């Protein structure tokens, strides 16, 4: 299992537009083979911060998802990303939460 998680910062006044611009892609990604979860969400404490959270069944499923995105490159007129801190985690086991 692979988890991709992190933050993407945009200008605070552009965050809602950024999230809206990702909505169709997020919904499409959720239907991809191997995608368990995929979400962009607004951070409640940082006005320009977007949180990214993905769960994939395997590295192969994630790589397949990334191929067209990498090939497309930057989109003209896209909202500028000020900072990005995203990491990929390979998970060896999963169990119920202690919460």
95/99 Cα distance (integer angstroms):
12
Q: 20-46, pLDDT tens digit by residue?
A: 999 999 999 999 999 999 999 999 999
**3-state secondary structure at position 77:** coil
Q: 76-97, pLDDT tens digit by residue?
A: 778 999 999 999 999 988 888 8
Q: Please, what are the domains in the chain?
A: 2-90 (3.30.70.100)
According to DSSP, the residues that pair with 84 across neighbouring strands are 8
Q: 46-57, pLDDT tens digit by residue?
A: 999 999 999 999
Helix locations, 5-94, DSSP H:
15-29, 59-72
């Amino acid at each position: 299992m692979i988890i991709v998680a992190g933050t993407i910062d945009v200008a605070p006044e552009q965050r809602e537009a950024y999230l809206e611009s990702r909505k169709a892609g997020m919904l499409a990604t959720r239907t991809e083979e191997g995608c368990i979860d995929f979400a962009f969400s607004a951070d409640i404490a940082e006005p320009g911060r977007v949180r990214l959270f993905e769960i994939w069944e395997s590295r192969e499923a994630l790589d397949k998802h990334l191929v067209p995105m990498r090939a497309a490159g930057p989109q003209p007129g896209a909202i500028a990303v000020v900072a990005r801190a995203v990491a990929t985690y390979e998970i060896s086991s999963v169990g119920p939460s202690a919460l």
